[in-house]
Amino acid sequence: MNRKVLKDFTFSNGITLPTGTEVAIASYETHLDDKNYDRAHEFQGFRFSNMPHEGEGLKHQFVSMAPNYYTFGMGRHACPGRFFAVNELKAMLVYILLNYDVRFPNDGPRPDNFWFSGLLTASRTAGVMFKKRM
Query: Binding site membership for heme: which residues?
Result: 79
User: Which ranges of 27-81 would DSSP assign to H, the alpha helix?
Assistant: 27-31
Query: How far, in Å, CA of 19 to CA of 51, rounded?
Result: 41
- The annotated binding site is made up of 79
Query: How far, in Å, CA of 128 to CA of 105, rounded?
Result: 6
Query: How far, in Å, CA of 104 to CA of 127, rounded?
Result: 6
